[in-house]
């Protein structure tokens, strides 16, 4: 099963299916062929049963689904009957995905052998460590204090628990170290598609309306990974600013749907919100 018969590698993120308008978008998603793969780069929803339902639906429609978690999936939300936190929450999501044949960051990276391949498709889970700070903010503590002062604080501070790690940034550093070792072991003769919910470099956050929010958007530890690990392209979400940027000749593609108020205000949601990653679209 895969891209060997002319299928496409498609991507989407930030479905936020708690909103009925976004759920309707999911209901319309269909592959163009029986060989299409789908990347889901996080933030399907917050409640475990909804995440399970949506990923299950997509896994039935697409030849292969590759999932990277977003911050919303990792929340222990008051409305969610599943009360596990932190690593235990993530492990429950991984177990659920595996039962549906969905590739997670804990699985062997699949090889895309369709048009544009061979390429290693690498879903990652890296979190953030508060290093995307405003200029002049030397420490995490100073940056967080400023964010609280101006009223720009991510809901993660209330719902995303790092247990058993002492902090979210400690969990991030552990994930980065583990993932770096895995990527270093990939055949050096193969290029990659790197997938992470959060941006892997600082550049995409420079356009944020509220710059303090960058604190919850990634880590400087991955700033050169697109070069070190031979990325053909990098796929991410989280910012709700769908666009393509280029760094060191590598395309970074933000593939989010976002909240209804956002895409309605900008009139930017096409009939088919899926982004084609491979084959590379002709300009």
Q: What is the pLDDT of residues 48-67, one digit of tens each?
A: 999 999 999 999 999 999 99
For residue 272, what is the DSSP state?
-
Cα separation values, 90 from 33, 68, 83, 108, 257, Å: 31, 11, 12, 17, 23
Question: Each residue of 88-111: b (16+ CB within 10 Å) or e?
Answer: ebbeebbebbeeeebbbbeeebbe
Give the count of beta carbons closer than 10 Å to the beta carbon of residue 7: 24
Task: Give the side-chain half-sphere CA count within 13 A for 8.
Answer: 13
At residue 5, the pLDDT reads 52
Task: Give the side-chain half-sphere CA count within 13 A for 111.
Answer: 7
**Opening angle at CA 150, ends 145 and 154, nearest 5:** 75
At residue 2, the pLDDT reads 40
Q: What is the mean pLDDT of residues 229-236?
A: 98
pLDDT interval class at 267 (50, 70, 90):
confident
pLDDT in tens, 21-39: 999 999 999 999 999 999 9
What are residue 67's DSSP bridge partners?
40
Q: Rounded CA gap, 216 and 156, in Å?
A: 8
What are residue 194's DSSP bridge partners?
122, 234
Give the count of beta carbons closer than 10 Å to the beta carbon of residue 184: 10
Q: Which H or E run contains 223?
A: none
At residue 95, the pLDDT reads 98
Superfamily of segment(s) 9-278: Metallo-dependent phosphatases (3.60.21.10)
User: Is the pLDDT at 4 greater than 80, yes or no?
Assistant: no
User: Is the pLDDT at 269 greater than 80, yes or no?
Assistant: no
Domain limits of the chain?
A: 9-278
At residue 271, the pLDDT reads 65
Q: What is the mean pLDDT of residues 262-271?
A: 74
pLDDT in tens, 67-117: 999 999 999 999 999 999 999 999 999 999 999 999 999 999 999 999 999
At residue 266, the pLDDT reads 72
| Lowest-confidence pick of 3-7, 72-76, 119-123, 278-282 | 3-7
263 cis-preceded (ω within 30 degrees of 0)? no
At residue 282, the pLDDT reads 60
At residue 60, the pLDDT reads 97
At residue 1, the pLDDT reads 36
Cα separation values, 73 from 1, 180, 267, Å: 27, 23, 27
At residue 43, the pLDDT reads 98
């Amino acid at each position: 099963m895969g891209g060997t018969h002319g299928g496409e590698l498609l991507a989407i993120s930030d479905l936020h299916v708690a909103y009925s308008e976004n759920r309707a978008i999911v209901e319309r998603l269909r592959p163009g062929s029986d060989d299409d793969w789908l990347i889901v780069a996080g933030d399907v929803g917050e409640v475990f049963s909804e995440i399970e339902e949506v990923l299950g639906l997509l896994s039935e429609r697409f030849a292969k689904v590759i999932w990277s978690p977003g911050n919303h999936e990792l929340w222990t939300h008051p409305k969610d009957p599943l009360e596990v936190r932190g690593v235990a929450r993530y492990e429950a999501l991984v177990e659920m995905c595996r039962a549906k044949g969905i590739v997670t960051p804990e699985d062997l990276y699949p090889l895309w052998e369709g048009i544009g391949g061979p390429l290693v498709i690498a879903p990652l889970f890296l979190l953030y460590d508060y290093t995307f700070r405003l200029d002049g903010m030397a420490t995490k503590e100073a940056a967080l204090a400023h964010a609280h002062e101006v009223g720009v604080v991510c809901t993660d501070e209330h719902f995303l628990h790092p247990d058993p790690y002492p902090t979210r940034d400690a969990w991030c550093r552990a994930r980065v170290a583990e993932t770096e070792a895995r990527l270093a072991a990939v055949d050096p003769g193969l290029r990659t598609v790197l997938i992470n919910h959060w941006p892997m470099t600082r550049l995409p956050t420079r356009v944020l309306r509220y710059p303090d929010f960058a604190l919850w958007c990634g880590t400087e530890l991955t700033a050169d990974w697109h070069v070190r690990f031979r990325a053909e392209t990098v796929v991410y979400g989280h910012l709700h600013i769908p666009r393509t940027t280029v760094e060191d000749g590598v395309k970074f593609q933000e593939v989010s749907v976002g909240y209804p108020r956002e895409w309605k205000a900008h009139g930017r949601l096409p009939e088919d919100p899926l982004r084609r990653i491979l084959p590379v679209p002709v300009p």
